[in-house]
Structure 1
Amino acid sequence: MANSPTSFFWYELMTKDIDAASDFYAAVVGWRPQDFAGSAGMPRYVVMNAGERGVGGIMKIPAEAGPGMHPAWVGYIHARDTDAATDAVKKAGGKVWRAPDDIPGVGRFSVVADPQGAVFNLLQPNGPDMPPIPAGTPGSIGWHELYTSDWRKAFDFYSSQFGWTKDREVDMGEMGIYQLFAAGGEAIGGMMNKPPQVPNSAWQFYFNVPGIDAAAKSVADKGGKVLMGPMEVPGGQWVVQCQDLQGAHFALVAPKR
C-alpha cells in the first residue's frame, strides 16, 4: 500500500475541436480557458481555470490514439515516481497503454488501466504541489465515480496502489452496492458494478456548479445532452449526467436546483 493516499488531481479532455469544447465548458461549468505556453513543438493545450487556478485541460485527440478513439475525459492520479507506479499497476494486473514519458516543463506521465479496463493517467509533476481547492468551489471536481465489472476487485486494486479506504456502502437495490471511498479524509467518490448499457469500465467526473437546473439548461443550449437527472443524492446535493457536444461523458453536481 502507498505510504500515504494519493488521488486524482488533474483532469483532461481529449476531443476533436478544442475551441468548441472550450466554449461549451466555459458556458456550462464557468471555467476560464487559457492557452498553455508549452515548449516549442508541443500540441496545443488549453487550461481550464476555476478562478485563478487551473483544474484541467483540453487537447485534441492525438493521432497515435487511432481513429476509433472517441472524445473522453481522463483523470490524472498523483505519482511520487511515475516509473515505479506504472510498473506496480502492471504487476497488479493492470495494463500500460503508454509507457512513462516526460512532458517538458510539466512532469513525467503514463497512461494505464486498472485490471477491469478503466483508463487513467499517472503524473509525477515538476515543482511543488498546489494547495487543494476547498470542497464545493465552483468549477472544481466534486466527485469521482467508477463504473466497473467488479467493484470489489477494483477497490482492492486502488486501495493497494494508492491507499484508498472504504467509506460507507449505499444499497441501491437492483443496481447493487455503491461503495464510497476516501483518500485520507472524507469520501471523494464511489464505485459500483456498471449497468448493462455501459459497455466498458470507466471513470466519470462530476464538476461543481452553483445550481443544477441552470447548468443543465446550459448543456442543452450549447448542444450537449442531459442523459440522467436532475436527481437528488444523499446529502442533499443535485446531480445530472451529461454528454457534451462532441460526445464526451461528464457529470455535474450542485448544492441546489
Structure 2
Amino acid sequence: MADKPMPTGFGTFCWSQLNASDAAACEPFYLSLFGWSADHKDLGGLPMTLFKRGADEMGTLMQIPPMASGTPRSHWMGYVWVQDLDATFARAKELGAAPFVPPTTVPEAGRFAVIGDPGGAVLGLFEEAPRPGPSRPMPTGHGAFCWYELTTREVAASIAFYTQLFGWTTREWPMDFGIYTLFLRGEEAVAGLMPMAGPEWEGIPNHWMPYVGVNDVDERFAAVPGLGGTGCVPPTDIPEVGRFAVIADPTGGVISLMRGLD
C-alpha cells in the first residue's frame, strides 16, 4: 500500500484512542485484526493499554468508567496537536463547542482536552510536553492510522468552526454522492468531511472516523466476524484513492479499513 505518512505538526491529527465499554473484549480483537501488541500501563491510577506495532506506538485503549446513566458505546477519538491548549480550548468554546473535558495533565506526555463541535462530533485536543530532539513522523503501512474524516449533517457550521479554530482551509472534491470537503493545512490534506445525507445515516450521530491502513481490505474485513466484530460497510473502491470498508469491534466501536493506491 502507499506509505505516505500523515502530516505532522500543529493543526494535524497526532493520536487515536479507543474509549471502550469493555476494554478486555476490545483488546484481543484489535491485536488480531491489525497485528498490534499490547503494553499495559498505569495512568495516574487508571489502567491504560498502549497499542504498538514493533517499536511504533499506534494508539491507546481506555476503559470507560461506570456511569449512572449507563456506559456509552465504545468509540474511537482522534486528537489534534495544538501549540497552546488553553487558548485553543477557550477559542473552541467561543466558536460554539461543548467543553466536555477541560485542559488536563497526562504525566510525562502533555495535556489534553475534549470538545464537541457544533454538530456534536467529539474531538480531542493535545498539547505535547517538551521533549528533546525532533518529532518523529507518524507511522505508515499496515496497522497505522492513515486518515481522519468528519461525518456530519452540519456541513457549513463544521467548516466554519474548524477553519477558524485550526486555521485550516478547504478544497471541494466532487464525488458520486455530492461534495467531499478536504481540510488543508497549507498544501497538505489533514482530514476530510463527509456530508451525512440519506436514510442510510438514520440513527448515526455526527462523528469523527479514523481510518487504519491495511495490506488487504477484503481479507481483513472477512476476518472481522470470526474475531467477534461486525462488518458495517463492505469493501468499496474510492476512485483515485483506494479501497475501504467500515467495521465495528465486539463492543460497537466503529473504525474504517483503508488501502491506498500504490
TM-score, normalised to structure 2's length?
A: 0.87
**Contact in 2 for aligned 1:108/1:124 (Cα 8 Å):** yes
Q: Which runs of 5+ in 1 are unaligned?
A: none
Contact 1:5 1:183 in 2 (8 A): no
1:26 offset after TM fit, Å? 1.1
2-structure distance, mates of 1:180, 1:81: 24
- Asked whether the equivalents of residues 34 and 143 of structure 2 are also in contact (C-alpha less than 8 Å), the reply is yes
CA spacing shift, 1:192–1:255, aligned 2, 3 Å: closer
Q: Which position in structure 2 is the counterpart of 1:21?
A: 26
Q: Where does the alignment leave 5 or more consecutive residues of structure 2 unmatched?
A: 1-8
Show the counterpart of 2:113: 110
Q: Which amino acid aligns with 2:158?
A: A
Change (3 A) 1:82 1:140: same
State the shift of 1:36 in Å: 2.4
**1:246 matched residue in structure 2:** 251
C-alpha separation between the residues in 1 aligned to 2:144 and 2:75? 18
1:1-257 aligned within 5 A: 6-39=11-44, 42-63=45-66, 66-128=69-131, 130-133=135-138, 136-173=140-177, 176-195=178-197, 196-255=201-260
Percent identity of paired positions between Structure 1 and Structure 2: 28
Q: Which amino acid aligns with 2:204?
A: P
Give distance in 1, aligned partners of 2:27 and 2:110.
24
Question: How many angstroms does 1:218 deviate by?
Answer: 2.0
Q: Is the 8 A contact 2:10 2:81 kept in 1?
A: no
Q: Secondary structure at the match of 1:235?
A: coil
SS in 2 for 1:70: coil
Q: RMSD of the TM alignment (CA)? A: 2.1
Over residues 8-32 of structure 1, what are the superposed CA-to-partner deviations in whole Å (9 max), with x where a residue is unaligned? 1110101133232111111112222
Equivalent residues of 2:64, 2:71 under 8 A apart: no
Give the Cα–Cα distance (whole angstroms) in 2 for the partners of residues 70 and 24 of structure 1.
16
Aligned length: 248
**Displacement of 1:66:** 4.7
- In structure 2, how many angstroms separate the alpha carbons of the residues matched to 1:65 and 1:208? 37
SS where residue 36 of structure 1 aligns? strand
- Give deviations 1:153-198, integer Å, cap 9, x for gaps: 212211111122223412333xx31112223443243212213325
When normalised by structure 1's length, the TM-score is 0.88
Partners of 1:200 and 1:51 in 2: how far apart? Answer: 35
